[in-house]
Amino acid sequence: MENRKPVIHRYQNGKLTLELGETVQEFALLLQVNGRQIATLVSSPHDLRQLVVGFLRLQGFVQSIADFDLLAICDDFGVANVRIKGELPDQLRPVLTSGCGTGITFTLPEAPTGMICPAGQPTEAATIFSLMDQLNQLTERYSTHGGIHSAAAGDEQGLLLHCEDIGRHNTVDRIAGEALLRGIDLSGKLLMTSGRISSEMAAKAAQLGVRLLASRTSPTDMAATICQQAGITLVGYVRGGSFKVYSRPEGIITPIG
């Protein structure tokens, strides 16, 4: 993949001046599974194995690395060729999501039927602030040129995984994919994200079994409903020493006023 350096001009004090800089990279990856073209994933161009594995995991097509017979990604042609055990459904009905650039899923977001995420110990507010601060410090691409989202998973001891992508929904797929590749169980962990938490992101968090989902910005009403049903504490606007809790406040160790 060619990393093009764009010509950038800055308007300031009534004139345009040339400056050095970068723009966020965007990459279209055609996903072929068992010989079928099922989706084009629009994402950042790095670590595409994580994205593909996580996407297929959260669509319910695979559950473990043993479910893959082939996972080959050609960066030059923008194609991921995957063979998995078992067959895909005869009819795949894509659902356009609210993700950046419009994400795609093959199932409408909802809390997994009969599933309640493991509650574990309630979470200290200090842990939420600490994990979000750690994520902020690791957002290398955002610090360089902006225009990109981030996510991380961790616990009271610190972050276990983190990633960046132009699509906020892609960041959760990447976390799910890396966790599967590295054999990390996210059940009962905390999931942090930089972007708005929508219904599909809440549903993915429920599939991963996290006990708390937090963002620097806002959740939607459907996300709050899904998290409440799934037993997930949903936290928004984590900034400046404060946050808002939208579901399961009992998951936070703090007096409720």
Model confidence over 80-99: pLDDT tens digits?
A: 999 999 888 877 755 544 45
- Which one of 74, 100, 163, 227 is the catalytic residue? 100
CATH 3.90.700.10 describes domain 123-253: no
Is the predicted pLDDT of residue 73 greater than 50, yes or no?
yes
pLDDT for the residue numbered 217: 93
pLDDT for the residue numbered 148: 85
Of the candidates 58, 257, 46, the one whose C-alpha atom is nearest the C-alpha of residue 164 is 46
Chain centre to alpha carbon of residue 54: 9
pLDDT for the residue numbered 39: 87
Q: How far is CA 24 from CA 17, 149, 168, in A?
A: 21, 11, 14
Give the pLDDT band (50/70/90) at residue 5: low
Q: How large a percentage of the chain has pLDDT more than 90? A: 60
pLDDT for the residue numbered 98: 43
In the annotation, is 117 catalytic? no
Q: What is the mean pLDDT of residues 178-204?
A: 94
pLDDT for the residue numbered 117: 54
Is the predicted pLDDT of residue 146 greater than 60, yes or no?
no
Q: What is the mean pLDDT of residues 13-23?
A: 79
Give the pLDDT band (50/70/90) at residue 182: very high
pLDDT for the residue numbered 36: 92
Give the pLDDT band (50/70/90) at residue 10: confident
More confident position, 104 or 153: 153
pLDDT for the residue numbered 105: 56
Residue 25 class from Cβ within 10 Å (0-12 exposed, 13-18 middle, 19+ buried)? middle
Contact 176, 185 (CB under 8 A): no
Mean pLDDT of the chain: 85
DSSP run (H or E) holding 150: strand 149-155
Give the pLDDT band (50/70/90) at residue 140: low
pLDDT for the residue numbered 96: 45
Give the pLDDT band (50/70/90) at residue 121: confident
Phi-psi region of 76 (alpha: psi -120 to 50; beta: other; left: phi over 0): alpha
**Distance between CA atoms of residues 41 and 29, nearest Å:** 5
Contact 94, 106 (CB under 8 A): yes
By DSSP bridging, strand 104-105 and strand 95-96 are: antiparallel
Is the predicted pLDDT of residue 107 greater than 50, yes or no?
yes
Give residue limits of the domains in the chain.
27-105, 123-253
**Distance between CA atoms of residues 41 and 31, nearest Å:** 7
Q: What is the mean pLDDT of residues 54-82?
A: 94
Q: What is the mean pLDDT of residues 190-195?
A: 94
pTM, rounded to two decimals: 0.86
Please give the CATH topology (third level) of the domain spanning 27-105: Ubiquitin-like (UB roll) (3.10.20)
